[in-house]
Amino acid sequence: MSVFENFKLLKADMVTKGWAIEAFPFNYKNRDYIVLAKLYEDGEKKPKYALMKVELLKSEKINERLVSSVNVNGFLIEAKLLRAFFDIEYGENLGDLLSQFNEYFAQFIPDHVTLGKPPHIKEAMVTSLSKSDSQDPNKRFCYGVMRNSDGRQRTLFNDNKTRLLRPTLYQEFSSDLSISFCYSTDANDHKLDAVIIQDFSKR
Tens of pLDDT, residues 39-86: 999 888 999 999 999 999 998 887 889 999 999 999 999 988 999 999
Query: Is residue 166 in a domain?
Result: yes
Contacts of 25 (CB under 8 A, 6+ apart): 32, 33, 34, 35, 59, 108, 118, 121
Burial class of 180 by CB neighbour count within 10 A (0 to 12, 13 to 18, 19+): buried
Helix 156-165 crosses helix 119-132 at what angle (to 10 degrees)?
Answer: 160
Residues 139, 102 within the same domain: no
Residues 94, 16 within the same domain: yes
**What Å distances lie between residue 125 and 37, 67, 102, 166, 177, CA to CA?**
10, 15, 23, 14, 21
Over residues 9-25, the mean pLDDT reads 97
Residues 15, 92 within the same domain: yes
Query: Is residue 112 in a domain?
Result: no
Tens of pLDDT, residues 24-35: 999 999 999 999
Number of domains composing the chain? 2
CA gap 27, 116 in Å, rounded: 19
| H/E segment holding residue 144 | strand 141-147
* Mean pLDDT over the full length of the chain: 93
Tens of pLDDT, residues 88-126: 887 777 667 889 999 999 999 999 999 999 999 999 999
Domain that holds residue 38: 5-106
CB-based contact 59:32 (threshold 8 Å)? yes
CB-based contact 38:55 (threshold 8 Å)? yes
CB-based contact 57:65 (threshold 8 Å)? yes
Query: Is residue 116 in a domain?
Result: no
CA gap 200, 144 in Å, rounded: 8
Query: Is residue 32 in a domain?
Result: yes
pTM value is 0.91
CB-based contact 37:20 (threshold 8 Å)? no
Which of 85, 106, 127 is a domain's end point?
A: 106
